[in-house]
C-alpha cells in the first residue's frame, strides 16, 4: 500500500493550507475572531509542533531494506548467470522474478509491513513498483473489476511508465542529435 | 568479481539509491510516487550520459533492481533495437520490449492477487 497511500497523504497535505484560513471565520460567534498577530503566532507554534521526519533513522532503514532487496536480486542474478544466461539478457528475467516476489508479498500482506519499516527502501526497488500495482488492484476491487482493479492498478505505475518512456525517447533523440553534430557515429 | 563481492556491491549500491530517495522524500516533501517517477527519469538521463552502465557493472542487481535501473533498461532497450531493427522501429518499440517481462508480470500477478486476496482490515 506504500506508494498509493503516500499519494493520498500528499493530497490531504496540500489541502491543509488552503483550509487553514477559512476555519477561523467559521468559529462560533461567541468567541472573538483572532487578530492577524495571533494568527501568525498560532501558525508559528503549529509549524514547530509539526513532526519532523527522523531523517537519519529513515535513511538507515531505507538503506537496510533496499540493500536486502537488492541482495535477493543479486542472488537471482547470480543464479541466472550460473545457468548460462548472458548478463545483458538477464535484466528482463531478473525484473520478472523480483516483480513476482513483490506481487506475492503484497498479496499476503507482508510487503505492507516491509513498507512501513523501509520507506523508500521498499518503494524504490522494482518490488515496490509491483507493490504500487498490486496494492490498489486489491484495494479497489470493491469498485469493480474494470474501473476498480483494471483502472486503479496504474495509479502510480502509469506515471512511472509514462515519464520513463517519454524521458528515455527524448534522451535517445538528444544523444542522436549530439552524435550527429559532433560527427561521432 | 567473485560471488561475495557481487553481493557486497549489490547491497551497497542498492541501499544508497534508496537512501537518496528517502532523503528526497524527507527533505523536499515530495510524495513517494513523485520520487519514483523522478528516479526513473533520472536513471534514463544517467543512462543517456553513459554513466549508468558502469554502475550496473559495479552494483549488479543493486543498480538494476531500483527504479533508476528501469529507466536505464528503457534507454538501453531503445538503443539496442535501433541498431538491430532500424531507428524509428527501435525508438518506439525498444523501451517497452526491454521492460515487457517486468510490466507484464506486475499486471498479471496484480490482477491475480486482486482476485485472490482482500487487503487486511477491509473485509
Contact B71, B62 (CB under 8 A): no
pLDDT one-digit tens code per residue, A73-112: 999 999 999 999 998 889 999 999 999 999 999 999 999 9
Q: Does residue A31 sit within a domain?
A: no
pLDDT one-digit tens code per residue, A151-170: 999 999 999 999 999 999 99
Where b means 16+ CB within 10 Å and e means fewer, A85-98 reads: beeeebbbbbbbbb
Question: B72 is in which domain, residue-wise?
Answer: 3-116
Among A7, A9, A71, the residue with its CB nearest the CB of B10 is A71
Q: Does residue A48 sit within a domain?
A: yes
Q: Does residue A28 sit within a domain?
A: no
A10 pLDDT band, cuts 50/70/90, is very low
Contact A56, B47 (CB under 8 A): no
**DSSP helix/strand/coil, A1:** coil
Residue B5: enclosing H or E segment and its boundaries?
Answer: helix B3-28
Q: Does residue B34 sit within a domain?
A: yes
CA–CA distance, B14 with B6 (Å, rounded to integer): 12
pLDDT one-digit tens code per residue, B48-60: 999 999 999 999 9
CA–CA distance, B103 with A99 (Å, rounded to integer): 8
Over residues B61-84, mean pLDDT: 96
The tally of domains found in chain A comes to 1
Name chain A contacts of B48, Cβ cutoff 8 Å: 168, 171-172, 174-175
Quote ipTM for the complex.
0.93
Mean pLDDT, rounded, of chain A: 84
Q: Does residue B12 sit within a domain?
A: yes
- Give bridge partners of residue B66 from the DSSP assignment: A125
pLDDT one-digit tens code per residue, A108-150: 999 999 999 999 999 999 999 999 999 999 999 999 999 999 9
Q: CA quadruple A161, A163, A164, A166: dihedral positive or negative?
A: positive
The tally of domains found in chain B comes to 1
Q: Are A92 and B102 in contact (CB < 8 Å)?
A: yes
Q: Does residue B33 sit within a domain?
A: yes
Contact B80, B90 (CB under 8 A): yes
Task: Return the pLDDT at A41.
Answer: 85
Contact with chain B for residue A114, Cβ under 8 A: no
Q: Does residue B26 sit within a domain?
A: yes
Among B37, B103, B118, the residue with its CB nearest the CB of A141 is B118
Contact with chain B for residue A144, Cβ under 8 A: no
Cβ count near A46 (within 10 Å): 10
Amino acid at each position: 500500500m506504500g506508494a498509493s497511500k503516500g499519494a493520498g497523504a500528499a493530497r490531504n497535505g496540500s489541502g491543509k493550507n488552503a483550509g487553514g484560513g477559512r476555519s477561523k471565520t467559521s468559529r462560533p460567534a461567541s468567541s472573538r475572531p483572532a487578530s492577524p498577530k495571533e494568527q501568525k503566532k498560532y501558525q508559528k507554534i503549529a509549524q514547530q509542533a509539526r513532526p519532523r521526519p527522523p531523517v537519519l533513522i529513515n535513511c538507515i532503514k531505507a538503506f537496510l531494506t533496499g540493500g536486502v532487496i537488492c541482495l535477493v536480486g543479486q542472488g537471482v542474478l547470480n543464479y541466472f548467470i550460473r545457468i548460462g544466461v548472458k548478463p545483458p539478457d538477464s535484466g528482463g528475467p531478473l525484473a520478472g522474478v523480483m516483480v513476482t516476489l513483490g506481487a506475492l508479498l503484497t498479496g499476503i500482506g507482508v510487503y505492507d509491513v516491509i513498507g512501513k519499516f523501509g520507506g523508500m527502501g521498499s518503494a524504490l526497488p522494482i518490488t515496490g513498483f509491483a507493490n504500487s500495482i498490486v496494492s490498489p488492484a486489491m484495494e479497489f476491487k470493491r469498485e469493480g473489476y474494470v474501473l476498480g482493479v483494471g483502472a486503479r492498478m496504474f495509479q502510480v505505475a502509469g506515471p512511472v511508465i509514462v515519464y520513463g518512456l517519454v524521458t528515455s525517447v527524448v534522451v535517445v533523440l538528444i544523444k542522436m542529435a549530439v552524435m550527429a553534430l559532433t560527427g561521432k557515429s | 568479481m567473485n560471488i561475495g563481492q557481487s553481493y557486497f556491491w549489490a547491497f551497497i549500491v542498492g541501499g544508497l539509491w534508496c537512501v537518496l530517495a528517502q532523503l528526497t522524500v524527507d527533505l523536499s516533501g515530495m510524495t513517494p510516487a513523485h520520487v519514483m517517477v523522478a528516479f526513473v527519469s533520472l536513471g534514463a538521463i544517467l543512462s543517456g550520459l553513459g554513466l549508468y552502465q558502469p554502475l550496473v557493472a559495479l552494483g549488479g542487481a543493486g543498480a538494476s533492481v531500483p527504479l533508476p535501473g528501469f529507466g536505464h533498461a528503457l534507454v538501453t532497450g531503445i538503443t539496442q533495437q535501433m541498431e538491430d531493427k532500424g531507428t524509428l522501429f527501435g525508438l518506439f518499440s525498444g523501451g517497452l520490449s526491454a521492460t515487457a517481462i517486468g510490466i507484464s508480470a506486475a499486471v498479471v500477478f496484480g490482477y491475480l492477487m486482486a482476485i485472490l486476496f482482500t487487503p487486511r482490515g477491509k473485509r
